[in-house]
Amino acid sequence: MTLPDAEEVLPPLRLSPGELARAFAEMSLHGFGGVTPWAHHILVERRGWLGDREFAELLSLSQLVPGDNVSNLAVIFGYRYGGTRGSLAALGSLYHHFGGPGALRGVSAVVA
Q: Is residue 9 part of a domain?
A: no
Q: What integer pLDDT is reported at residue 97 of this predicted model?
A: 58
Q: How many domains is the chain built from?
A: 1
Task: Give the burial string for 3-33 (b: 16+ CB within 10 Å, else e).
Answer: eeeeeeeeeeeebebebbbbbbbbbbeebee
Please, are residues 52 and 45 in contact by the beta-carbon 8 Å criterion?
A: no
Q: Is residue 8 part of a domain?
A: no
Per-residue pLDDT of the chain (112 residues; tens, 9 = 90+): 555 555 555 556 788 888 988 888 888 887 666 788 889 999 999 999 999 999 999 999 999 988 888 889 999 999 998 999 999 998 888 876 555 555 455 554 555 4
Q: Is residue 6 part of a domain?
A: no
Q: Is residue 71 part of a domain?
A: yes
Q: What integer pLDDT is reported at residue 105 of this predicted model?
A: 52
Q: Is residue 25 part of a domain?
A: yes
Q: What integer pLDDT is reported at residue 44 of this predicted model?
A: 95
Which residues span the domain enclosing 50?
15-29+38-100
Q: Is residue 106 part of a domain?
A: no
Q: Is residue 5 part of a domain?
A: no
Q: Is residue 94 part of a domain?
A: yes
